[in-house]
Amino acid sequence: MHPKQERQLVILVTGGAGFIGSHTCVALAEAGMQYLILDNFCNSRRSVLDRLARITGAAPAFIEGDVRDVALLQRLFSEHPISAVIHFAGLKAVGESVREPLRYYDNNVAGSLTLLQAMQAAEVRTLVFSSSATVYAESAVQPLREDFPLSATNPYGWSKFMVERMLADLDQAEPGQWRIARLRYFNPVGAHESGLIGEDPQDVPNNLSPYIAQVATGQREALSVYGNDYPTPDGTGVRDYIHVMDLAEGHVAALRYLQTHPGLLTVNLGTGRPASVLDMVRSFERASGRPIPYRIVARRPGDLAQYWADASLAEQLLGWRAQRDLDRMCADLWRWQSGAAQSA
Ligand code: NAD
Ligand code: WQD
């Protein structure tokens, strides 16, 4: 991408109506960057677009469609002055991926391949890719650094691993032509401070924080804590929870970095601050003023005891660091979950 005034940048945001994508659109707007959303709404609602308009003051440019639609992508790149792509579109439920591997490889791997081929044909070679800490092999050594060994234990994780590999091979085949950031997200939590957008799972939440939020509102009776016999400070699982707006701002920082750094960038986007399940429960009780009843149950198969990010490389290269703590994540999540702002 030739260095341009940021206001002229048009960023294609695939999956931009989703949880992280919608928050990243807010961050792009705040950075003065223009964006175009492509989403097929398989895991999001159209109402997100109206809420983005309320938050940013401008209706988002939007195309409904599938990232696997070759003809649509060709039209999209020929009709819009796209300078870069942030690729969020994909499926992300680990358990579902074990039951439906081909659906995950089709959407996440074939979808990414179709997008890359369309970018190559259109000579748009700046990409930010939604990778995941799930690509790291289990490690007794923590925190995780970007040069640690990679592996996966489920089709979802392998799909991220494969796309990371595709991107590395592409950079090697066309050295200096591409500007690619592989962003390895840890555990995104929270919501925009307006309470107008947030994580909106379409069925029973797999992840901890939306489940806790639904216990707080009475939608769920109690939290099942998957094991308290791990070798961790309080026996429950330890993760690196990062506010979704910090994550969003990390994407803007990555885009800015790519404007002056061709090649392949791989960074963790985490806080570097480990937190347990019970830490999250206590923080959410403070934020909501509501008790979160829980019961200890058996470990969830496939869960690791603990992992968190070494976040120093993103700070060193991008000048980005997560700013918001667990209490802020829970306060913003509660405002979204309690629906106060949504109903206003
Ligand atoms: P999400 O499901 O909220 O958002 C994904 C969006 O992509 C949805 O709006 C969905 O409708 C859309 N989509 C899916 N397949 C599509 C397709 N083929 N064509 C067009 N649109 C499509 O998920 P999210 O939490 O915002 O995650 C975004 C990305 O980040 C995903 O790639 C996910 O794997 C990755 N990621 C998420 C987490 C997490 O914990 N949320 C962690 C690490 C990485
Ligand atoms: C966090 C902690 C659970 C729910 C997953 C995906 C990963 C990435 C992020 C996409 C663990 C415990 C959870 C519950 C619980 N997604 N827990 N009761 O498993 O770290 O990561 O989301 O890339 O790929 O694997 O997140 O929120 O499911 O679990 O006790 O009802 O909370 O055991 O310790 P996880 P999570």
Q: How far apart are CA 334 and CA 339, in angstroms?
A: 8
User: H or E stretch including 223?
Assistant: strand 223-226
pTM reported for the whole predicted model: 0.97
Q: Does the C-beta of 189 come closer than 6 Å to ligand 1?
A: no
**DSSP 3-state assignment of 247?**
helix
% residues pLDDT > 70 (the chain): 96
CB-based burial of residue 206 (10 Å sphere; 0-12 exposed, 13-18 middle, 19+ buried)?
A: middle
pLDDT of residue 87: 99
Tens-digit pLDDT profile for residues 54-65: 999 999 999 999
**Atom 19 of ligand 1 has which residue's CA nearest to it?**
66
CA–centroid distance, 269 to ligand 2, in Å, is 16
Name all residues whose Cβ lies below 6 A of ligand 2: 92, 94, 132, 134, 187, 206-208, 211, 223-226, 237, 239, 277, 300, 303
pLDDT band at 8 (very low <50, low <70, confident <90, very high): low
Contact of 200 with 147, CB cutoff 8 Å: no
C-alpha 322/C-alpha 246 separation (Å) is 5
Pick the atom of ligand 1 nearest to 22's CA: 26
- ipTM of this predicted complex? 0.99
pLDDT of 189-244, one tens digit each? 999 999 999 998 888 899 999 999 999 999 999 999 999 999 999 999 999 999 99
SS3 breakdown of the chain: % helix, strand, coil, rounded to 5? 45, 20, 40
Model pLDDT, residue 223: 98
Smallest CA separation from ligand 1 atom 10, residue: 43
**Ligand 2: residue whose CA is nearest its atom 28:** 207
Q: Is the dihedral of CA 325, 54, 50, 127 positive or negative?
A: negative
* 87-127 pLDDT per residue, tens: 999 999 999 999 999 999 999 999 999 999 999 999 999 99
The Cα–Cα gap between 147 and 138 comes to: 13
Tell me what the mean pLDDT of segment 39-49 comes to: 96
Question: What is the reported pLDDT for 337?
Answer: 95
Percent of the chain clearing pLDDT 90 (strictly above): 94
Say if residue 4's pLDDT is above 50. Answer: no
Ligand 2 atom nearest residue 299's Cα: 33
> Is residue 315 over pLDDT 80?
yes
Q: How many residues does the chain have?
A: 344
With the most atoms of ligand 2 within 8 angstroms of its CB, the residue from 158, 184, 204, 226 to mutate is 226
Which residues have CB under 8 Å from 313's CB, separation 6+?
145, 146, 267, 268
Q: How far is CA 53 from CA 59, 86, 246, in A?
A: 4, 20, 20
Please tell me if the CB atom of residue 88 comes closer than 6 angstroms to any atom of ligand 1: yes
pLDDT of residue 9: 66
136 is catalytic: no
pLDDT averaged over every residue in the chain? 95
Give nearest CA residue, ligand 2 atom 23. 132
Expressed in angstroms and rounded, the spacing between residue 39 Cα and the centre of ligand 1 is 10
167 burial (CB, 10 Å; 0-12 / 13-18 / 19+) is buried
Closest-lying ligand to the alpha carbon of 199?
1
Residue reference for tokens 């195309």: 63
Catalytic member of 156, 185, 230, 257: 156
